[in-house]
């Protein structure tokens, strides 16, 4: 990709107002799968020419979180830009919100997508191309476009063996059970040098199904105050927005009503037999903003501010596509208006 292509993207852009005096931190993931080193260098130059920018390349797992925390504690950083995939965004968000949500005083967040799926950025309506997204970011800053989004918070449940597990924010989804196991399988293959592709995910879904010991009788119970528990779930997907994920360019709507403007939605399945997989898999692939998967083995709950997922056995947990190990109990909280995002 030529430098000329990048230059033309900003040929008609003229900063106004205080953009040129804005102090921003750019967090760059050098392992981002869909941006080359040259692309990242040109994007950094484009942003630095329009604002007072400090660009830092992450060097270890958790580095983006540390940088976000430093920015939140700074007196002069107004904006943090995450250049990378959903994992980088999640780390930055957890750093920014280390001391709790305070959208009026914390730096704003902007995202330049560089991962394989970029669910958070695409759910915000941002272009899935790093160059186009950077142009959209500069336009949004010039025009003062931003929104305050809700986020999900997961923590260890008091009185359980997971009580001491540190709390963690997530931007678009979390899962306990089957889908988190698939994420863990994919991460193992990535650590061996394989690229994160949609084909890799599909293969791991099929292999996980073959080895799933609780396909017909789930171990997960959802509990919330004032309501009867939902029992025997095999799969539980907690959504903070919709779509839940993308298969290539196809959006997948597990919880179509989920929104950054509400609390959390839950989609659960109590059976993963061959017939159930075929039925609900087809429904997910054909889902839309108007209709998600439905059936007697499906559970759909909307706009929950707080609930707990318990399991009879330790199960894998994932947040924003990051495998976090095994848990037996996780408490979820939907926090409205948690963070300002430039859109």
Q: Is 300 exposed, middle or buried (0-12, 13-18, 19+ CB in 10 A)?
A: middle
Q: What angle do CA 261, 307, 66 make, to 5 degrees?
A: 65
pTM attached to this predicted model = 0.88
pLDDT (0 to 100) of residue 102: 96
Cα separation, 343 vs 340, in Å, equals 9
Residue 70 C-alpha from the chain's centroid: 21
Q: How many CA atoms lie within 13 A of 24 on its CB side?
A: 29
| Mean pLDDT, the chain, integer | 88
CA dist 29 and 56 (Å) reads 9
Do 150 and 261 contact (CB within 8 A), yes or no? yes
Q: What is the pLDDT of residues 59-89, one digit of tens each?
A: 999 999 999 999 999 999 999 999 999 999 9
Reference 325, options 203, 176, 191; nearest CA is: 176
Per-domain boundaries in the chain: 3-144, 152-338
pLDDT tens track for 95-111 = 999 999 999 999 999 99
On the question of pLDDT at 17 being above 60, the answer is: no
Report the distance separating Cα 27 and Cα 5, nearest Å. Answer: 23
Query: What does the pLDDT look like over 222-244, one tens digit per residue?
Result: 999 999 999 999 999 999 999 99
Contact 294, 304 (CB under 8 A): no
Q: Which class does domain 152-338 fall in?
A: mainly beta
With H, G, I as helix, E, B as strand and everything else as coil, classify residue 3. helix
Q: What is the mean pLDDT of residues 322-328?
A: 92
CATH class of 3-144: alpha beta
- Region 266-272 average pLDDT: 92
């Amino acid at each position: 990709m030529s430098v000329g292509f990048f230059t033309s993207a900003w040929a008609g852009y003229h900063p106004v107002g205080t953009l040129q005096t804005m102090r921003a931190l750019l967090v760059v993931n050098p392992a981002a799968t869909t941006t080359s080193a040259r692309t990242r260098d040109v994007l950094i130059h484009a942003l630095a020419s329009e604002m007072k920018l400090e660009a830092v390349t992450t060097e270890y797992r958790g580095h983006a979180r540390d940088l976000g925390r430093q920015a939140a504690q700074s007196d002069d950083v107004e904006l943090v830009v995450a250049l990378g995939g959903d994992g980088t965004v999640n780390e930055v968000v957890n750093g920014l919100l280390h001391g709790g949500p305070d959208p009026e005083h914390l730096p704003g967040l902007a995202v330049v997508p560089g991962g394989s799926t970029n669910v958070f950025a695409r759910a915000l309506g941002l272009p899935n191309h790093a160059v186009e997204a950077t142009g959209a970011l500069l336009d949004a800053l010039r025009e003062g476009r931003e929104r305050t989004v809700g986020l999900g918070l997961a923590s260890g449940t008091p009185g359980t063996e997971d009580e001491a597990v540190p709390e963690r924010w997530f931007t678009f989804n979390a899962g306990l059970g089957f889908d988190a196991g698939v994420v863990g399988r994919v991460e193992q293959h990535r650590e061996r040098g394989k690229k994160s592709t949609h084909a890799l995910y599909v293969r791991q879904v099929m292999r996980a199904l073959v080895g799933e010991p609780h396909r017909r009788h789930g171990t997960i119970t959802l509990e919330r105050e004032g309501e009867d528990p939902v029992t025997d779930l095999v799969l539980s997907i907690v959504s903070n927005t919709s779509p839940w994920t993308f298969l290539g360019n196809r959006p997948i709507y597990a919880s179509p009503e989920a929104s950054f403007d509400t609390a959390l939605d839950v989609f659960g399945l109590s059976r993963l037999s061959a017939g159930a997989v075929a039925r609900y898999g087809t429904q997910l692939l054909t889902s839309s903003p108007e209709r998600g998967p439905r059936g007697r083995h499906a559970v759909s709950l909307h706009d929950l501010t707080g609930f707990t997922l318990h399991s009879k056995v330790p199960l894998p947990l994932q947040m924003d596509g990051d495998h976090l190990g095994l848990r037996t109990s996780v408490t979820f909280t939907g926090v409205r208006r948690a963070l300002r995002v430039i859109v």
